Amino acid sequence: QHILRLAEICRKLEMEEEKVLPFYPSLLAEGEQRDAQRVLEETPMEPLAQAMQDYVGLERFWQRFNKAKLEEQALERERAALGQRNGHLRELLRQYLVGISVSQEALGQPNPL
Protein backbone atom coordinates (compact mmCIF):
# COMPACT_ATOMS: atom_id res chain seq x y z
CA GLN A 1 0.00 0.00 0.00
CA HIS A 2 2.83 2.40 0.86
CA ILE A 3 4.48 1.78 -2.49
CA LEU A 4 1.31 2.49 -4.42
CA ARG A 5 0.78 5.68 -2.40
CA LEU A 6 4.37 6.77 -3.17
CA ALA A 7 3.80 6.11 -6.87
CA GLU A 8 0.65 8.27 -6.76
CA ILE A 9 2.55 11.12 -5.07
CA CYS A 10 5.35 10.91 -7.66
CA ARG A 11 2.79 11.00 -10.46
CA LYS A 12 1.19 14.16 -9.02
CA LEU A 13 4.58 15.91 -8.92
CA GLU A 14 5.40 15.21 -12.58
CA MET A 15 5.34 18.17 -14.93
CA GLU A 16 2.49 18.26 -17.45
CA GLU A 17 4.73 17.40 -20.43
CA GLU A 18 6.08 14.37 -18.54
CA LYS A 19 2.55 13.10 -18.06
CA VAL A 20 1.71 13.50 -21.75
CA LEU A 21 4.95 12.42 -23.43
CA PRO A 22 6.38 8.94 -22.93
CA PHE A 23 9.52 8.95 -20.83
CA TYR A 24 11.55 6.81 -23.20
CA PRO A 25 10.46 5.85 -26.69
CA SER A 26 9.99 2.12 -27.03
CA LEU A 27 12.36 0.19 -29.27
CA LEU A 28 9.87 -2.68 -29.59
CA ALA A 29 7.91 -3.36 -32.75
CA GLU A 30 4.13 -2.93 -32.57
CA GLY A 31 3.52 -6.68 -32.21
CA GLU A 32 6.15 -6.93 -29.49
CA GLN A 33 4.56 -4.04 -27.63
CA ARG A 34 1.17 -5.78 -27.73
CA ASP A 35 2.74 -9.01 -26.43
CA ALA A 36 4.51 -7.15 -23.64
CA GLN A 37 1.32 -5.32 -22.66
CA ARG A 38 -0.62 -8.61 -22.61
CA VAL A 39 1.99 -10.19 -20.33
CA LEU A 40 1.85 -7.17 -18.00
CA GLU A 41 -1.92 -7.41 -17.75
CA GLU A 42 -1.90 -11.13 -16.92
CA THR A 43 -2.09 -12.13 -13.28
CA PRO A 44 1.31 -13.57 -12.33
CA MET A 45 1.44 -17.11 -10.94
CA GLU A 46 4.96 -17.26 -9.48
CA PRO A 47 5.44 -15.80 -5.97
CA LEU A 48 8.32 -13.55 -7.06
CA ALA A 49 6.31 -12.21 -10.00
CA GLN A 50 3.36 -11.55 -7.67
CA ALA A 51 5.64 -9.62 -5.28
CA MET A 52 7.09 -7.60 -8.17
CA GLN A 53 3.56 -6.63 -9.25
CA ASP A 54 3.47 -4.31 -6.21
CA TYR A 55 6.42 -2.33 -7.58
CA VAL A 56 5.17 -1.77 -11.13
CA GLY A 57 3.83 1.65 -10.13
CA LEU A 58 7.33 2.84 -9.29
CA GLU A 59 8.72 2.15 -12.76
CA ARG A 60 8.38 5.77 -13.87
CA PHE A 61 10.02 6.95 -10.64
CA TRP A 62 13.07 4.74 -11.25
CA GLN A 63 13.27 5.87 -14.88
CA ARG A 64 13.33 9.49 -13.76
CA PHE A 65 15.79 8.72 -10.96
CA ASN A 66 18.20 6.96 -13.35
CA LYS A 67 17.89 9.80 -15.87
CA ALA A 68 18.73 12.32 -13.15
CA LYS A 69 21.78 10.25 -12.10
CA LEU A 70 23.01 10.10 -15.71
CA GLU A 71 22.59 13.87 -16.06
CA GLU A 72 24.46 14.36 -12.79
CA GLN A 73 27.40 12.28 -14.07
CA ALA A 74 27.43 14.17 -17.38
CA LEU A 75 27.46 17.51 -15.56
CA GLU A 76 30.28 16.33 -13.29
CA ARG A 77 32.39 15.37 -16.33
CA GLU A 78 31.63 18.72 -17.94
CA ARG A 79 32.61 20.52 -14.73
CA ALA A 80 35.93 18.66 -14.62
CA ALA A 81 36.65 19.51 -18.28
CA LEU A 82 35.79 23.16 -17.68
CA GLY A 83 38.03 23.19 -14.60
CA GLN A 84 40.96 21.93 -16.68
CA ARG A 85 40.27 24.53 -19.36
CA ASN A 86 40.05 27.23 -16.70
CA GLY A 87 43.42 26.18 -15.28
CA HIS A 88 45.00 26.27 -18.73
CA LEU A 89 43.59 29.74 -19.45
CA ARG A 90 44.78 31.01 -16.06
CA GLU A 91 48.29 29.76 -16.81
CA LEU A 92 48.27 31.50 -20.21
CA LEU A 93 47.06 34.71 -18.55
CA ARG A 94 49.76 34.44 -15.89
CA GLN A 95 52.43 34.02 -18.59
CA TYR A 96 51.06 37.00 -20.48
CA LEU A 97 51.01 39.21 -17.37
CA VAL A 98 54.58 38.21 -16.49
CA GLY A 99 55.59 39.04 -20.07
CA ILE A 100 54.12 42.55 -20.05
CA SER A 101 55.16 43.58 -16.57
CA VAL A 102 58.33 45.61 -16.23
CA SER A 103 60.42 44.86 -13.16
CA GLN A 104 64.03 44.16 -12.40
CA GLU A 105 63.23 40.47 -12.20
CA ALA A 106 61.36 40.56 -15.51
CA LEU A 107 64.15 42.51 -17.22
CA GLY A 108 66.69 39.94 -16.09
CA GLN A 109 64.77 37.03 -17.64
CA PRO A 110 63.83 36.34 -21.26
CA ASN A 111 60.32 37.62 -22.01
CA PRO A 112 58.12 38.23 -25.06
CA LEU A 113 58.89 41.99 -25.04
Q: Is the pLDDT of residue 5 over 60?
A: yes
DSSP string for residues in 6-55: HHHHHHHHS-HHHHHS-SS---S-HHHHHHHHHHHHSPP-SHHHHHHHTT
Q: Is the pLDDT of residue 83 over 80?
A: yes
Q: Residue ranges per domain, the chain?
A: 1-19+30-107
Give the model confidence (pLDDT) of 19-63 as tens digits. 555 555 566 677 877 877 777 677 767 777 667 767 777 777 888
Q: What is the mean pLDDT of the chain?
A: 75
- Greater confidence (68 vs 28) lies with 68
Task: For residue 80, name the pLDDT band (cuts at 50, 70, 90).
Answer: very high
| Contact present, 63 and 25 (Cβ < 8 Å) | no
**pTM higher than 0.85:** no
